[in-house]
């Protein structure tokens, strides 16, 4: 049986085993290996952070010791002591007593971690010491080998009373000759250092040790390893500071070793954690996870079987409904559910509703097309009838102009010529587009006639006609608005026209042409009515023969511009107040 002929339920079962069970086993193995690597990396990262923190704490502690003992190195009594000749017994013992009674007690005051101090002078053939350290001879070799070190941690020792201390020496520089004149030996209680190292717990058997700059154990949980050299393998690894971790051993005894070396003290903090301790929890959770996953697989299988039945039943029902739709029954509806199948059913129902609505719209559209065809025929007849009158008037004006010339009445002749140009311009097809420059030039014929009527009329035109040649407009768009300014701005109020202005501003969409008058203006509510009608004009309103607010001049101009060029082109009233009105005509650039 080919898979494309299988039922959805069988396909889901096969997909469940093929794309879930088998990949799970592969991913489980991959997850286990990656988990072990991740745990190992996390253990290394945590140990590195811990080692850095411990080394930082030791640096801070030994830095504090440096600061606490620094005044001793330059103290006048110490400087005198390292310069005095030991043969001068009186001065020698006098300085020694002052140092014992005054200087050293002040230094170790409230410092329970400083167990002992010794000051050694290099004068004479013998070393001399002060205070309570009795191990001067033990460190003569270290002094000679580390003569250039100003601060060095020598190691852990046990005093006569059984106290374990860390011994440190510092060089005393002669403040006159600036050469080494002696040493200051400091015995520190081991408790402070062990407290720092014991703050961390690495597993059950993990250990932390401290190695000095000579690769000897300064501190180890096993005291017998103190001052003993570290393993050769460790010593070689410590040299590679770019890889501050490695594994040691093999099998069940494999350990992760992480180290961090301080550049300040030269000490290296080393942690050793058995790998088996890190893996114990992982093995437990692996077995627990396997059990839980097997249980989930069984439950998932049962759930898929029941879920597939619910899906196939719903899809079969929907297929039956679609067959009824194919037969032409658009009244049926699919049942609603609160899941994806329910969304599919809702989409099916919406599709049927949209089909019914589209059928109604197509029917209405056909009716509108028939009405528009009738309307267009009527418009053509009216346009042809309208062109008869301008031809008759144009010929009549030509006769009047001839009589005016014979009678030598120049104003009548000039006005007749202007009026003839207006009619001749209007005879051309009003739907033809022209440049705004040409439209305004013909508009001036109307202005010239009004100028003859009103000698005091001021015509204020501030336009760049070269730029206006790039603007796209229709015939008779500017003249009707200018005529409105004369009629509604002045003549309706019995005011003699005194001012007409034209301004233009350009932007990326085209030009905004302002027609300005200084008449009485319109009420604010009427201005709002005009602007609302201009802004919200629908296609049905554009085809109306009359404006929704009464007049037809501005509505006709706006309708033609909007039908020809679309939004945002057309008219708007910028302002209309008692001191005048500004009407804006927005027109586009010419198309290339």
Q: Which among 4, 21, 5 has a CA at the least distance from the CA of 301?
A: 21
Cis peptide before 415 (omega within 30 of 0): no
Comparison of pLDDT for 440 and 381, the residue scoring more: 440
Answer yes or no: is pLDDT of 387 > 70.
no
Those residues whose C-beta lies under 8 Å from the C-beta of residue 283, and which sit 6 or more positions away, are none
- 188 DSSP β-pair partners: 114, 166
CA distance 217 to 153: 12
User: What CA–CA distance (Å, rounded) separates 419 from 274?
Assistant: 111
CA distance 31 to 102: 68
- Looking at per-residue confidence, does 592 or 480 come out higher? 480
Task: Please report the pLDDT score of residue 142 as a whole number.
Answer: 59
- Percentage of the chain beyond pLDDT 70 is 73
User: Does position 97 have pLDDT exceeding 50, yes or no?
Assistant: yes
Spatial strand order of the sheet with 570-577 comes to 458-462, 499-507, 510-517, 580-588, 570-577
In DSSP terms, 474 is beta-bridged to: 433
Q: What is the spatial distance between Cα 249 and Cα 429, in angstroms, rounded to a whole number?
A: 103
Q: What is the total residue count of the chain?
A: 592
Please report which confidence band the pLDDT of residue 125 belongs to, taking 50, 70 and 90 as the band edges.
Answer: very low
Whole-number pLDDT of residue 306: 72
Distance between CA atoms of residues 140 and 132, nearest Å: 17
Q: Does pLDDT of 385 surpass 80?
A: no
Residues with Cβ within 8 Å of 291's Cβ and at least 6 positions away in sequence, in order, are none
Kindly state the tokens that stand for 12.
Answer: 């889901």
- Both tokens of 499, joined, read 């001012």
Residue 116: is it exposed, middle or buried by C-beta count within 10 angstroms (0-12/13-18/19+)? buried
Q: Residue 535: which H helix or E strand, with range?
A: helix 524-535
First to last CA, the chain: 65
- For 264, phi then psi, to 5°, come to -85, -50
- pLDDT (average), residues 180-201: 75
Round the CA-based radius of gyration of the chain to a whole number and report it: 54
Please count the other Cβ atoms lying within 10 Å of the Cβ belonging to residue 40: 17
- If you average pLDDT over residues 55-78, what whole number do you get? 82
Output the 3-class SS for 336-391: CCCCHHHHHHHHHHHHHHHHHHHHHHHHHHHHHHHHHHHHHHHHHHHHHHHHHHHH
Q: Which two tokens stand for residue 211?
A: 């190695």
The region of weakest confidence among 65-74, 303-312, 574-583 is 303-312
For residue 503, pLDDT beyond 90: yes
Task: Identify the pLDDT of residue 415.
Answer: 76
Looking at residue 16, what is its pLDDT?
Answer: 66
Q: Tokens for 526? A: 């009427």
* pLDDT in the model for residue 397: 66
Contact 480, 533 (CB under 8 A): no
Residue 375 has what pLDDT? Answer: 57
Residue 126 has pLDDT above 50, yes or no: no
Mean pLDDT on 311-316? 74
Higher per-residue pLDDT: 565 or 43: 565
Single out the residue of 147, 153, 212 nearest to residue 187, CA to CA.
153
DSSP assignment of 382-420 equals HHHHHHHHHHHHHHHHHHHHHHHHHTT-HHHHHHHHHHH
Greatest mean pLDDT among 22-31, 255-264, 500-509 lies in 500-509
408: CB partners within 8 A, 6+ apart: none
Tell me what the mean pLDDT of segment 445-466 comes to: 87
Answer for the pair 103, 78: CB distance below 8 angstroms, yes or no.
yes
**What are φ and ψ of residue 584, in 5° steps?**
-110, 135
Beta strands in 444-569 (DSSP E): 458-462, 472-474, 499-507, 510-517
Task: Give the bridge partners for 580, in sequence order.
Answer: 577
Mean per-residue pLDDT for 386-408?
A: 63
79: confidence class by pLDDT, cuts 50, 70, 90: confident
350 pLDDT higher than 60: yes
Torsion-angle region of 348 (φ positive above 0: left; ψ -120 to 50: alpha; else: beta)? alpha
DSSP label at 555? H
Dist. CA 264–CA 457, nearest whole Å: 98
From 36, 45, 54, select the one nearest 254 (Cα to Cα).
36
């Amino acid at each position: 049986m080919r898979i494309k002929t299988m039922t959805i339920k069988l396909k889901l079962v096969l997909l469940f085993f093929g794309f879930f069970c088998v990949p799970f086993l592969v991913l489980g193995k991959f997850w286990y290996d990656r988990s072990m690597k991740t745990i190992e990396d996390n253990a290394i990262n945590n140990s590195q952070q811990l080692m850095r923190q411990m080394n930082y704490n030791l640096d801070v502690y030994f830095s504090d010791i440096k600061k606490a003992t620094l005044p001793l190195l330059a103290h006048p009594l110490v400087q005198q002591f390292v310069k005095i000749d030991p043969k001068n017994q009186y001065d020698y013992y006098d300085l020694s007593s002052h140092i014992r009674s005054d200087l050293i007690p002040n230094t170790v005051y409230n410092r329970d971690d400083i167990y002992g101090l010794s000051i050694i002078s290099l004068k004479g053939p013998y070393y001399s010491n002060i205070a309570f350290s009795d191990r001067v001879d033990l460190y003569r070799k270290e002094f000679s080998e580390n003569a250039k070190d100003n601060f060095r941690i020598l190691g852990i020792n046990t005093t006569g009373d059984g106290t374990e201390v860390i011994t440190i020496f510092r060089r005393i520089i002669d403040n006159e000759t600036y050469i080494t004149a002696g040493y200051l030996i400091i015995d520190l209680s081991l408790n402070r250092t062990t407290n720092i190292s014991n703050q961390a717990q690495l597993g059950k058997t993990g250990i932390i040790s401290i190695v000095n700059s000579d690769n000897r154990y300064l501190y180890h949980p096993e005291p017998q390893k103190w001052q003993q050299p570290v393993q050769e393998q460790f010593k070689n690894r410590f040299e590679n500071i770019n890889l501050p971790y490695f594994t040691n051993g093999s099998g069940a005894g494999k350990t992760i070793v992480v180290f961090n070396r301080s550049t300040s003290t030269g000490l290296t903090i080393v942690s050793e954690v058995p790998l088996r301790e890190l893996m114990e929890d992982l093995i437990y959770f692996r077995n627990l996870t396997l059990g839980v996953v097997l249980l989930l697989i069984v439950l998932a299988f049962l759930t898929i079987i029941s879920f597939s039945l619910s899906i196939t039943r719903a899809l079969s029902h929907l297929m039956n409904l679609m067959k009824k739709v194919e037969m032409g029954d658009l009244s049926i509806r699919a049942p609603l559910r609160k899941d994806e199948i329910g969304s599919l059913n809702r989409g099916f129902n919406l599709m049927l509703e949209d089909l019914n609505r589209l059928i109604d719209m197509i029917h209405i559209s056909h009716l509108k097309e028939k009405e528009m065809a009738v309307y267009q025929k009527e418009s053509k007849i009216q346009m042809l009838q309208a062109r008869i009158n301008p031809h008759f008037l144009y010929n009549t004006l030509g006769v009047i102009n001839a009589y005016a010339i014979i009678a030598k009445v120049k104003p009548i002749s000039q006005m007749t010529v202007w009026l003839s140009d207006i009619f001749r311009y209007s005879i051309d097809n009003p739907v033809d587009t022209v440049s705004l420059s040409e439209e305004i030039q013909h508009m001036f014929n109307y202005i010239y006639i009004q100028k003859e009527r009103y000698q005091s009329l001021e015509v204020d035109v501030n336009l760049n006609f070269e730029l206006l040649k790039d603007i796209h407009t229709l015939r008779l768009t500017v003249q009707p608005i200018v005529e409105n300014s004369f009629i509604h701005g002045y003549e309706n109020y019995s005011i003699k026209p005194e001012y007409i202005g034209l301004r233009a501003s350009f932007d990326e969409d085209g030009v905004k042409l302002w027609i300005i008058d200084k008449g009485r203006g319109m009420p604010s509510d009427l201005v709002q009515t005009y602007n609302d009608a201009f802004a919200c004009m629908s296609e049905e309103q554009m085809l109306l023969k009359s404006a929704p607010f009464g007049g037809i001049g501005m509505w006709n101009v706006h309708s033609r511009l909007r039908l020809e060029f679309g939004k945002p082109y057309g008219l708007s009233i910028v302002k209309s107040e008692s001191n005048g009105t500004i009407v804006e005509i927005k027109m586009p650039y010419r198309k290339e």
